[in-house]
Amino acid sequence: MVEVNLFDAAFIMSLLAAMLRLSVPIVFTGIGEVIAERAGVVNIGIEGVMLLGAFSATYVAYFTGDAWLGVLIAIIIGILSGYIHGVIAITFKGDQIVSGVGMNMFAYGFTAAWLIIIWGELAAGNSPDVPRIPQISLPLPGAFSSISPFIFLMVLTAVASYYILYKTKFGLRLRSIGENPAAADVAGINVYRIQFIATIIGAVLAAVGGAYLAVDWNSMFVRYMTAGRGFIALATVVFSNWNPLLVLVGGLLFGFADGLQMRLAPALGVGFPPQFLQMVPYVLTLIVVTGAIGRAKPPAAVGKPYEKE
Amino acid sequence: MSSSLAADMQNIQKTYRDGTVALKGVNFNVREGEIHALIGENGAGKTTLMKILYGLLKPTAGKILIKGKEVNFRNPSDAIKNGVGMVQQHFALVPDFTVVENIVLGSEPCKQRVVIDYKSAVEAIKKLSGETGLHVDPESRVEGLPVGVQQRVEILKMLYRGAMTLILDEPTSVLSPIEVEDFFKILKGLRDKGRTIIFVTHKLKEALQISHRITVMRAGRVTGVVNSEGSTPQILANMMVGREVELKLEKKPVTIGEPLLEVEDLWVRSDKGLFAVKGLNFTVRRGEIFGVAGVEGNGQTELVESLTGLRKVEKGRVKVNGKDVTNAPPNELTRVGVAHIPEDRHKRGLILDFDLAENLILGSQSNAPFGTRFNMSLGTIYDYAQEAIGKFSIVAPSEKVRVKYLSGGNQQRVVVARELGRNPDFIVAAQPTRGLDVAATEYVRTILLKMREGRKAVLLISSDLDEILQLSDRVAVIYEGTFVDVRKPEELTEEKIGLMMGGVKPDS
Amino acid sequence: MAKEEPKSQPPLRERKIDLSMLTQSLLAVALGFIAGGIMIAAAGYSPVVAYAVLLKGAFGDVDSIAETLAQATPLIFTGLGVAVAFLEGCFNIGAEGQLFIGAFLAFLGGYLVAMPAPIHIPFVIFMGIIGGAGWALLPAILKVKRGAHEVVTTIMMNWIAMLLTSYLTLYHFLEPTASIPETPIINSSAVLPIIVPRTGLSASFLVALICVFVVYYMLKRMPLGYEIRAVGLNPTAAEYGGIAVSKVWVMGMLISGALCGIGGAGVTLGTYRRFVDRFSPGYGFDAIAVALIGRNNPIGALLAAIFIGALYSGSVYMRLITHMPKELVMAIEGIIILFAAVPEANRLIRKAIEHWKFWRAR
């Protein structure tokens, strides 16, 4: 058992660095879902999309030796997944929740199976090592000496999304669809097209979040590696009141809890059960969703397929 | 006012896919710079016609000319490009957005084609407000605004896009009398600045007050176009209501008994929070059919819901058979002997995916003889359904058919069978023959008369005047939440009712 | 919109015959298999061989059938549970969590208490009911009182349940000699015996069959079942008809949870005779497939559960013979669900809007 001083500078530094790293997939996926839901489309299949993004990035990185190329391919996979969900939810006006469940199940099965198909029996638990995204070295001590470019990308995405949603023409129209699609329709806006775009953007961001997990945070694909982060991202969406900048905050919060739980358990001694700390994100979500901390106000028409009268 | 036409609609027909004919060859034109009122009852076709002019609907046949040029609107954007704007009765606003966001939605002024230039938008809006008198705070959120201000936002939306011809659908229905006066001043101002206004309404006095010409529609046709100068409410009511008389049913004399329903000072709110029913007082006695006539949206729905346990009574009392049932839940009202034929049988009256028998026992599923709390006697239920089919002349393949496959008339018979099967003392019938064919209509009316003969009581709410006049022992006309008057049907002519429905109490 | 046409539009006069429920499911399954076949081919295997081996593995001999039914058993319970929830218009994605809690409480009942078998077995099953229903209670109340969407709340409850039972197993009830985290065996008086020797098929299958009939009876013959269906189809009309919608809704959720709880109890009492940490390979999500394919019908759920059970048990044999990873079967299941998400779109929207309007007005 290692005695760790909780207020040791190195400990805090490593915790903060972990917080940043662990928040990335959640923030990307969360922002993507905010965009989709702001246009009225719910996609609970983002957990599966993350997984597919992670897997495709690993695959490409393994065979080409280029991790960034892997991310690019993950983006394409995201476009495909978003398109499929869009067809089911928007074109066919099918059940958005069920479609998400199907996507998740497919992704779980597909990725686990293809691990073995590509890399053989021994890879059942995880793929071999693949090239990692080159980290950026900073003139800072300890845990911050090298940092992933995705941290910057994450912040950039949050700021850009906020700007686009609230300052641009496209953003205004997108938000109007999520609130009152009939009003948007009458104003001459192409509701279905924008919903499709929003859904695809959401899936692309989720795929990127997943890709990060595989070729940056880690350097391999591990079976079921998303471990429910897609659902935590869903929680962050509610927590952030559908605001991309607050998704950043929420993601950092969950990342902090995650990082803490990993370090705290050994710090407090072998006896302390980590499960309670691991529960924190989920309990937090419950509290938020039931409006115990202020009423989170979703887009008024979210989840309802729009039918032109 | 010029004599050139801002809009000219020629021989417009509109038939829906299921066969309903909404417009039967309508000719309608508006002169430039004119304020033109379009009046008619519910179902006359005025909103349908205007939706066509605004590009929301496509006519099945006919021509539309805007300023002499023939046009073919595929959607409202086309209409707006041609200078035609419409403010619908139910606003198309995004509550969460601010006024300026709502106004620019779809026509956003942009810097570099991407970023919205709110500053110039706000300036443009302020300029418009100054010109027209439609004052709004561009930064405020629409959700919290009073309805009258929201309406201004809707109008500004159209003006911002350069609409020169404005269609306003029942604009004063959301305004108080003082606001109406201000509103008319604004309309006159708009007209002075060269705009043309089409004013759709059922309120006769207002139409006469504000417009230059009036077009009257009835049952999908235009029955007349008059100059308001020299016209009177009586003339308009005549043209609006007409003289179509359907089957005259026989009404036997019945002795009126003790009060069954007593309503005292009833106040009920609408969904928007304003009072829709404002202090109604009335009594319905045994052997009576009490009819409530009026254009929809004057409080009927809220009245019915408050009497059937589905909407809160804010103030006042409701008594059935002497027992106070104010705000009692639906099943208690059923126990006390109140039955309800709801106005939208698909939404409220039936469960379309349930079969006939299952719908028949809705509400009684755990009562004898259909069952106990833990078990339903399917045999009894289906036998009962078979009997009901015969007794109520329901045309259905079997008692196991899902009611969504039945025709409207037969669906209504199922509702009637269910409600009457409980042997109620009192029926609230809301628009009971809406959408029904002649045979079904006669059937339902006969049933109501039978209730009356059986010394039960009926509260009949209907926008079908013939129905009201034929069936009721007393008629009340509801307008903006109160009864304009309560008369015996013999004392009423159709013109008088038309007046009352438009808010005017006749002198005699 | 100020409609001047009769409010009750009659699109149903068109006498359109709904594509029969069975056909819809078969269609989704067929399409799923075709797409799956393409996927299998892409992996370098022959779809025909794969499916043939799958079939043989699932139904080839008595033992195989028994294994299939054993795999199907938890799915029957959770599928019934999710079906009941769907019928009342509720998305119970929390079957997994309710399963875990039910399983653990059944373990406690079987381990800590000693009773003669005829009393013990109903007792532990009852513990499963309490566990599952209790775990569904919180999301139900949160929805009815605070409008919290049950999809998010039930998913969260899943994770909390898994972590909670994990903790209890690892820190309070750990079997020291075991190689995986699990509890000691329950008392033999609480065990549901194996009914086909050398297989995993225990008497919990019989309990599952009983549940199918109980749910069938409830839906068809009990006022509660009637009310649940009414609330799911048209909550406004149900309220008009005097049904206490919120109460019925919560009741439905509790029943749904209870069924999943019994499912968990069945696993503890029959399959493992103990509580195994994280034992569920995703029964809660399979339950959704079962309910969908079975069209929310108890008998349909039974058949669908056997179908999915066949997929899983067959996939083990398939793995043995063709070396195809059995997870591919899960992927095919996912594709089937995707196809099943689009049955009669029209009806779904109408229903969804009705439901949304109804809950919005609360």
Q: Is there a contact between B105 and A167 if contact means CB atoms under 8 Å apart?
A: no
Same domain, B35 and B100: yes
CA distance A103 to A95: 12
Contact (Cβ atoms closer than 8 angstroms) between residue B104 and residue B159:
no
Instruction: Tell me, yes or no, whether B131 lies in a domain.
Output: yes
Task: Give backbone dihedrals phi and psi of C9, rounded to 5 degrees, phi first.
Answer: -60, 140
Mean pLDDT to the nearest integer, B17-34: 87
Instruction: Tell me, yes or no, whether B313 lies in a domain.
Output: yes
- Reported as a pLDDT band with limits 50, 70 and 90, residue C6 is very low
Same domain, B276 and B357: yes
Domain boundary (B241, B275, B303) is at B241
For helices A67-86 and A96-119, what crossing angle results, to 10°?
150
Same domain, B263 and B237: no
Please give the mean pLDDT across all residues of chain C: 86
Interface check A211 vs B, CB under 8 A: no
- Reported as a pLDDT band with limits 50, 70 and 90, residue C250 is very high
Provide the shortest C-alpha distance from residue A102 to chain C (in Å): 4
Interface residue of A52, A55, A87, A95 to substitute, partner C, most C CBs within 10 Å: A95
State pLDDT tens for residues A229-263. Answer: 898 898 888 878 899 999 999 899 888 877 877 77
**CA B354, chain centre distance (Å):** 28
pLDDT higher than threshold 60 for residue A24: yes
| Structure tokens belonging to residue B150 | 């929201």
- Reported as a pLDDT band with limits 50, 70 and 90, residue A268 is low
Instruction: Tell me, yes or no, whether B376 lies in a domain.
Output: yes
Same domain, B474 and B331: yes
Task: Give backbone dihedrals phi and psi of B115, rounded to 5 degrees, phi first.
Answer: -90, 135
Residues of A in contact with B158 (CB under 8 A): none
State pLDDT tens for residues B76-130. Answer: 889 999 999 999 888 889 998 999 999 999 888 888 888 888 999 999 999 999 8
| Domain boundaries, position B32 | 5-241
**Residue B97's closest chain A neighbor by CA?**
A176
Interface check B120 vs A, CB under 8 A: no
Q: Is there a contact between B16 and C10 if contact means CB atoms under 8 Å apart?
A: no
Same domain, B19 and B112: yes
Residues of B in contact with A165 (CB under 8 A): none
Same domain, B410 and B302: yes
Q: Cα dist. A170→A73, A185, B105, B492 in Å?
A: 26, 14, 10, 58
Q: Which of C274, C320, C263, C265 is nearest to C64 (CA)?
A: C320
Instruction: Tell me if residue A133 falls in helix, strand or coil.
Output: coil
Please give the mean pLDDT across all residues of chain B: 87
Enumerate the domain spans of chain A: 16-130+142-289
Domain boundary (B241, B275, B307) is at B241
Which fold, A16-130+142-289? ABC transporter involved in vitamin B12 uptake, BtuC (1.10.3470)
CATH number at residue B449: 3.40.50.300
Instruction: Tell me, yes or no, whether B229 lies in a domain.
Output: yes
Give residue B63's pLDDT: 92
Same domain, B79 and B214: yes
Same domain, B209 and B268: no
Chain A residues 275-304 with a CB less than 8 Å from chain B: 297, 300
Give, for B47, the enclosing helix (H) or strand (E): helix B46-53
Q: What is the value of pTM for the model shown?
A: 0.83
Of C2, C10, C14, the CB nearest to B169: C2
Instruction: Tell me, yes or no, whether B347 lies in a domain.
Output: yes
Interface residue of C5, C8, C216, C296 to substitute, partner B, most B CBs within 10 Å: C8
Give residue C226's pLDDT: 93
Q: List, in order of start, the domains of chain C with CATH numbers.
A: 21-360 (1.10.3470)
Strand ranges of the sheet holding B21-31, from the earlier edge strand across to the other edge: B21-31, B5-15, B61-66, B69-71
| Structure tokens belonging to residue B307 | 């009497």
State pLDDT tens for residues C259-276. Answer: 999 999 999 999 898 999
Instruction: Tell me, yes or no, whether B284 lies in a domain.
Output: yes
What is the torsional sign of CA A114, A119, A121, A127? negative
Give residue B91's pLDDT: 86
Instruction: Tell me, yes or no, whether B507 lies in a domain.
Output: no
Same domain, B269 and B235: no
Mean pLDDT to the nearest integer, A118-146: 84
Instruction: Tell me, yes or no, whether B146 lies in a domain.
Output: yes
Interface residue of B17, B94, B150 to substitute, partner A, most A CBs within 10 Å: B94
Q: Cα dist. B295→A9, B173, B428, B499 in Å?
A: 76, 11, 18, 11
DSSP C90: -
Instruction: Give the count of domains, chain B.
Output: 2
DSSP A120: -
- Reported as a pLDDT band with limits 50, 70 and 90, residue B244 is very low
Contact (Cβ atoms closer than 8 angstroms) between residue C105 and residue C131:
yes
pLDDT higher than threshold 70 for residue A189: yes
Strand ranges of the sheet holding B482-487, from the earlier edge strand across to the other edge: B338-341, B426-430, B457-462, B289-293, B474-479, B482-487
Interface check A241 vs B, CB under 8 A: no
Q: Cα dist. A54→A48, A132, A251, A282, B107 in Å?
A: 10, 12, 19, 23, 41
Of C44, C147, C152, the CB nearest to A238: C152
Same domain, B302 and B346: yes
Give residue A271's pLDDT: 59
Residue B409 has, within 13 A of its CA and on its CB side, a CA count of: 15
Instruction: Tell me if residue A273 falls in helix, strand or coil.
Output: coil
Domain boundary (B206, B241, B276) is at B241
Same domain, B220 and B323: no
Provide the shortest C-alpha distance from residue B85 to chain A (in Å): 11
Percent of chain C with pLDDT over 70: 91
Same domain, B237 and B266: no
